[in-house]
């Protein structure tokens, strides 16, 4: 099926939250306005923020797939969110859209010590990965000053300006990512 076939003419306001609730396990879709507002922006106080209709707290790759597909079908904007420590508004909601919160996908799935390869979910916190591999005698180099909170997903999307702010000892995350 061609990608454009997923886009319907249904107005986005017609129940994307209900569509997502029907397709996802209970509790994943949050529409409480205060919680949604709290998860709708990063640390860039100057950046514009839209009103999201829902936050989805995904727990698996299948759930991420479900959310992406539903938003595509309904023509609803979707913004991924890690820890929300970004300084450029990248995780800020788009009006009428959905926030896909990935901090609950926080497992280190595999570390191949020989190949120096870690397979992680996107919500793994930078310092947690560093501690995990340190226990094996290895070092995970990329380390923004937000490493106690920021996630692998967010780290992999850092802007060049943000990377320039990193300490000289750290490397840009993308130079350490094989596949994302």
Ligand X SMILES: Cc1cc2nc3c(=O)[nH]c(=O)nc-3n(C[C@H](O)[C@H](O)[C@H](O)COP(=O)(O)OP(=O)(O)OC[C@H]3O[C@@H](n4cnc5c(N)ncnc54)[C@H](O)[C@@H]3O)c2cc1C
Judged by the rule CB under 6 A, the positions of this chain that interact with ligand X are 42-43, 79-87, 90-91, 102, 122, 144-146, 150-151, 153-155, 157-158, 162-163, 165-166
Distance CA 74, CA 179 (A): 28
Q: Which of 156, 73, 147 is nearest to 121 (CA)?
A: 156
Residue 10 or 44 with smaller CB distance to ligand X? 44
Q: Minimum Å distance from CB 53 to ligand X?
A: 17
Nearer to ligand X among residue 19 and residue 82 (C-beta): 82
Strands 78-81 and 54-57, bridge-based pairing: unpaired
Asked if 49 contacts 93 with a C-beta cutoff of 8 angstroms, the reply is yes
Instruction: Give me the helix-helix angle, 16-23 and 61-74, nearest 10°.
Output: 150
Q: Is the CB of residue 170 less than 8 Å from the CB of residue 143?
A: yes
> Considering the complex, what minimum distance in angstroms separates the CB of residue 39 from ligand X?
9
Of all helices (H) and strands (E), which one includes residue 161?
helix 160-164
Q: Least distance (Å) from ligand X to the CB of residue 113?
A: 25
| Closest chain position to ligand X (CB) | 154
Q: What is the largest CA-CA distance in the chain?
A: 54
Of 15 and 132, CB closest to ligand X: 132
**What is the smallest separation between the CB atom of 86 and ligand X, expressed in angstroms?**
3
Q: Which is nearer to ligand X, 9 or 46 (CB)?
A: 46
Closest to ligand X by CB, 14 vs 131, is 131
Q: How far is Cα of residue 48 from the mean position of the Cα atoms in its chain?
A: 19
Provide the minimum distance between the beta carbon of 42 and ligand X in the complex, in angstroms, as a whole number: 4
């Amino acid at each position: 099926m061609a990608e454009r076939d997923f886009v319907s003419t249904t107005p986005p306001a017609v129940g994307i939250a209900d569509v997502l609730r029907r397709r996802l396990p209970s509790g994943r879709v949050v529409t409480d306005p205060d919680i949604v507002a709290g998860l709708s922006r990063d640390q860039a106080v100057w950046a514009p923020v839209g009103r999201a209709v829902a936050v989805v707290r995904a727990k698996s790759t299948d759930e991420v797939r479900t959310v992406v597909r539903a938003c595509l079908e309904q023509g609803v904007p979707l913004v991924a969110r890690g820890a929300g420590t970004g300084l450029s508004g990248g995780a800020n909601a788009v009006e009428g859209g959905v926030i896909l919160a990935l901090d609950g996908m926080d497992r280190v799935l595999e570390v191949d010590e020989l190949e120096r390869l870690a397979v992680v979910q996107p919500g793994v916190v930078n310092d947690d990965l560093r501690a995990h591999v340190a226990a094996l005698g290895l070092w995970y180099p990329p380390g923004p000053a937000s490493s106690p909170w920021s996630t692998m997903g967010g780290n992999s999307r850092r802007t060049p300006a943000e990377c320039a702010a990193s300490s000289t000892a750290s490397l840009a995350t993308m130079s350490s990512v094989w596949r994302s």
